[in-house]
Amino acid sequence: MAEGNEHGHESGAGTESRELRRRKRKRCLIYLLLLAVFKIGIILLLTLTVMRTRSPKFRVSSAEFGAFTYSSSSAAAGPSFDITLYAELAVKNTNFGRYKFDSTTVYFSYNGAVVGSASVPGWSARARSTRRIRVQVELSSAGLADRVQVKSDLEAGVLPLNSRAALEGKVEVLQVFKRRKTAEMDCFLAINLVQRSIAYLSCQ
């Protein structure tokens, strides 16, 4: 009888031990599954936020003036303008990585004809920040052929201009991945000739 009881106890202990091991394995599998789900979630989060890159925004943010002369007279050289424009350009980088861009040129045009330009040096904009660049532009009507339209706008006291440029660069993500992005400028600005100020400024 004693031996039978011993075998019964050993059998019960063995069953309990197997049950404990089974529970531990099950618990480990659950932990591994949760860890895998967590890692997948982190990867998806990085893919949708940090790893996703967008083209930075490049625009004229403000402007002021230096030398400022214009004439709507038809006599002598005819209607003309010569204006020194100090423009603040903004490169807004909304990415989670630094945006390094090459040098470029911003062209200011009147009625489709270029009347001034400014060189922008190669630089960079930190992650989720805005790089501001100040440039000087000499606006001149010297090369314009359509003097009739110039005369009309100068008499109205408002000079409409467009500014365009393309900024080539790369977004560096986690200092490992580099994605090439182009920031394009397409702005319209109207100069109030009487007040020597910007009457209207809009960028796409």
16 and 85 inside one domain: no
CATH number assigned to the domain comprising residue 72: 2.60.40
Do 37 and 79 sit in the same domain of this protein? Answer: no
Write down the pTM of the prediction: 0.78
- pLDDT tens, position by position, 123-176: 999 999 999 999 999 999 998 988 899 999 999 999 999 999 999 999 998 878
Q: What's the total number of domains in the chain?
A: 2
Residue 189: domain span? 57-203
Whether 61 and 148 map to the same domain: the answer is yes
Q: What pLDDT, on a 0 to 100 scale, did the predictor assign at position 22?
A: 86
Question: How far is the C-alpha of 13 from the C-alpha of 196, rounded, in Å?
Answer: 96
One domain for residues 151 and 131: yes
One domain, residues 143 and 110: yes
Among residues 90, 67, 84, 101, which one has the least CA distance to residue 180? 101
pLDDT in tens, 14-63: 677 888 888 888 889 889 988 888 888 776 676 666 678 999 999 999 99
Give the pLDDT score at 106: 99
